[in-house]
Amino acid sequence: MIVARRFEFQAAHHLPNHPGKCHNLHGHTYRLEVFCEGPVEETSGMVVDFADVKALVRERVLDKVDHTLLNDLIENPTAERIAEWIWAQLEDTALPIAEIRLYETPTCFVVYRG
């Protein structure tokens, strides 16, 4: 069974190695989707509690990236590298993470499965 939760955060970045406009400082409203996968636990009837997903993602990711300059946290913060960084923040938690999706715009996103 897969359980997912969606989040949003605002952040700025610039891509120092990009030949186009993204070389310049600019911002995005990022949308993050965290997918957890596992069996449905017999007693609780859940794979994972949505509240636990929210708390861990807020503490480990959102509190660090929301309204920041991502270049201060991640070298050359492309969507791909941001997704890898997010995964690293969550991989040692109790969440059974299977996949994350990071949308840089409503139509452009990356999928990371560790």
* Catalytic site residue from 14, 42, 67, 84: 67
Q: What is the pLDDT of residues 45-79, one digit of tens each?
A: 999 999 999 999 999 999 999 999 999 999 999 99
Q: Which of 13, 28, 36, 104 is catalytic?
A: 104
98, exposed or middle or buried, with CB in 10 Å at 0-12, 13-18, 19+? middle
Please state, in angstroms and rounded to a whole number, the distance separating the CA atoms of residues 59 and 50. Answer: 14
Domain boundaries, the chain: 2-112
Q: Which residue among 14, 22, 84, 99 is the active-site one?
A: 22
Mean pLDDT of the chain: 97
From CA 23, how far away is CA 15, in angstroms rounded?
5
Arithmetic mean of pLDDT, 31-36: 98
* Nearest Cα residue to 30 out of 59, 64, 56, 55: 64
Q: Which CATH class is domain 2-112?
A: alpha beta
What's residue 101's pLDDT? 98
22 carries an active-site annotation:
yes
Q: What is the CA radius of gyration of the chain?
A: 15
Predicted pLDDT at 10: 98
Q: What is the DSSP letter of 61?
A: I
